[in-house]
Amino acid sequence: MSIVRLNGKIILGEESETLRETLKTISDSGVTKVLLDFAGVGYIDSCGLGALVGGYTTAKNKGVTIKLLHLQKRVEGLMQLTKLYLVFEAFENEADAVQSFSSTGAASA
């Protein structure tokens, strides 16, 4: 399992590209469980969401499960507005998030 702690704004430019590259690198590494910790992210724009969705698609095609942790109010609202909460499982507690990977029956890495 890989836990990625995100910080700052995930917006058009270097920030969204970094997220995209990070998710691709993890997916290519053989890790099958990824937890993205958004505790340090106060804002994400459409490019950031695009990077997240693109990373999710790439990961899913490689058998990788991505879950979200500690969504801030503004980010959580955007996830609801865009209906991405239907795609991503999100948690407020890290222990619960980690445990959820075991209950899904996903292969360990």
Distance of CA 15 to the CA centre of its chain: 14
Between helix 46-61 and helix 14-29 the angle, nearest 10°, is: 10
DSSP 72: -
The strands making up 89-91's β-sheet, listed across from edge to edge, are: 2-10, 33-44, 65-69, 89-91
- Domain ranges, residue 55: 2-103
Q: Examine residue 51 and state whether it is found in any structural domain, yes or no.
A: yes
Q: How many domains does the chain have?
A: 1
The single residue listed with the structure tokens 């990961």 is 59
- pLDDT, tens digit, 9 for 90 and up, residues 27-83: 999 999 999 999 999 999 999 999 999 999 999 999 999 999 999 999 999 999 999
**Rounded to whole angstroms, how far apart are CA atoms 49 and 10?**
8
Q: Check which CATH number belongs to the domain holding 51 and give it.
A: 3.30.750.24
Q: Examine residue 109 and state whether it is found in any structural domain, yes or no.
A: no
- Indicate the pTM of the whole model: 0.91
Q: Examine residue 108 and state whether it is found in any structural domain, yes or no.
A: no
